[in-house]
Amino acid sequence: MITSPAWAGKRYAVLGLARSGAATVRALVAAGAKVVAWDSDEAKRDAIKPLPFRGGVGGGGSLTETSARGPHPNPVLGEAAPSSFRSMRGIDRPETPEGEGLLTIAPLDDLTGFDALVVSPGVPINTHPIAAKARAAGVPIIGDIELFAEARSALPPHKVVGITGTNGKSTTTALVHHMLQTAGVPSLMGGNIGAPILGERPLPEGGVYVLELSSYQIDLTFSLDCDVAVLLNVTPDHLDRYEGFEAYRASKLRLLDMQSSEHVAVVASEDNGVGPAVRSMTTGAELTQWFGGNYATDFAAEQSEWPALQGPHNAQNAWSARVACLALDLSHDVIDAGLRTYTGLPHRMERVGTYDGVTFVDDSKATNPESAAPALAAFPRVHWIVGGKAKGDDLDACLPHLGNVIAAYTIGEAGPVFARVLAPHVAVHEAGTLAEAVRLAAAAAQRGEVVLLSPAAASFDQFTDYAARGRAFREAVEGLR
């Protein structure tokens, strides 16, 4: 795992014990930090408990949990008696001296004296009461990416690529990682994709960490100086977490503002590329000159050779990945090979089957109209499954591509609203459920046409997440056989 000796002896509060939070606790405790952690989900708290701990003051053999009813008193200290870290699941390390690596599971009622509060990106720090407690106590609020940034000086010499934007982050991150792997360069993919970065083994010298970064993660990060920072696009999204679009946009741009002047920024702007001098879009500070071409024109002939990178949005993603990898000194031949052999990610323009000449495409990750629009543009004859928990009342970004849509099949909470928006333009069937939408679309589609799940909305009205929605789509399609 990735740790830093600078954390030893410090006190950290950790809120949220899902994957990234649990990895954060493991890394901090392994480094010798004193951690108090909490999650409102008892199952997540219980998942931490089975880790083997050495007996602490008072001799217990497991970590201490302090309940909301009050602490279990330590007869010496008059407080909850924690237990020392010895080893964690799958990780062997020697026993640490008494007093090091202490972990307590307890509600974070008082943050006085902590060096930092580490929160998971899903915690809404604009509204959660823990943020006010931290400010009152003068405790900085950070995330696991900031801890990674702090740990970099202790890692073997390496580079970091940070990738953000509203749409295309995951594909571009995976594509850069694939190109590095194609070149034989040691690399890890993390951040908002893959395994939590602090839970990974450090790369050897010359390795590259490729991080997908959401605005939520950037909000909790203050010292990540990316060797290459990629800003794909910024369109309205997640506005429930921000005062408005400009605040959301400013969050994305901070990735560039954290860079040193000698590092490279790749900005794929809405007008199809940037000039040879790339600047920080908020401060105007000059960054290293880098020009990789214009994706609107450079890739027109090549894109047909990239099976998993179809559509105008993937032209932008491919351009950005190509320029980032040129900045990492990869050759054009290796980059081109990576573009040809990239297989794509689940639920992002993923072809899940072809039956009777009809292709079924899972684009469940398209959770807003801006990310659904490129999928509509990629296919000439589409039966479009759309709907879910809407992030707005319109589908304006999709309207220019409705000429490709034969019929729309609306689902979920947004179904009635989207049906009214689309009815003047295309035939609409209010299917309600995903399974019914697949059944109706499959019955109507003709050979050579595409049934496309690209919902332009979040999944949380009917599914636990976009991946569960995509799996349900695949199951419904497979049920047609």
CA distance 158 to 180: 13
User: Is residue 192 within 8 Å of 255, Cβ to Cβ?
Assistant: no
The active-site residue out of 133, 158, 169, 252 is 169
The active-site residue out of 10, 128, 238, 425 is 238
Whether 314 is catalytic: no
Q: How many CB atoms lie within 10 A of CB 47?
A: 15
CA distance 8 to 29: 8
Distances (CA, A) of 33 to 29, 80, 82: 5, 17, 13
Q: Which residues pair with 84 in a beta bridge?
A: 54, 102
The active-site residue out of 34, 133, 192, 233 is 192
Q: How many CB atoms lie within 10 A of CB 443?
A: 9
Q: Is the dihedral of CA 21, 25, 30, 33 positive or negative?
A: positive
Q: Which residues pair with 13 in a beta bridge?
A: 36, 117
User: Is residue 17 within 8 Å of 85, Cβ to Cβ?
Assistant: no
Whether 238 is catalytic: yes
Q: Find the distance separating the first CA and the last CA of the chain, reported in whole Å.
A: 45
Phi then psi for residue 10, to 5 deg, are: -80, 165
Nearest Cα to 165, choosing from 249, 257, 290? Answer: 249
CA distance 454 to 347: 9
User: Is residue 453 within 8 Å of 364, Cβ to Cβ?
Assistant: yes
CA distance 266 to 323: 7
Nearest Cα to 161, choosing from 320, 39, 34? Answer: 320
CA distance 203 to 108: 34
Q: Checking phi first, is residue 388 left (phi over 0); if not, alpha (psi -120 to 50) or beta?
A: left
Residues in the chain: 481
201 burial (CB, 10 Å; 0-12 / 13-18 / 19+) is: exposed
Q: Which two tokens stand for residue 109?
A: 């009622």
AA letter at 349: M
Q: In degrees, to the nearest 5, what angle opens at C-alpha 187 toward C-alphas 182 and 192?
A: 115
Residues contacting 335, CB < 8 A, separation 6+: 179, 321, 322, 325, 326
User: Is residue 265 within 8 Å of 245, Cβ to Cβ?
Assistant: no
Whether 192 is catalytic: yes
Residues taking part in catalysis: 169, 192, 238
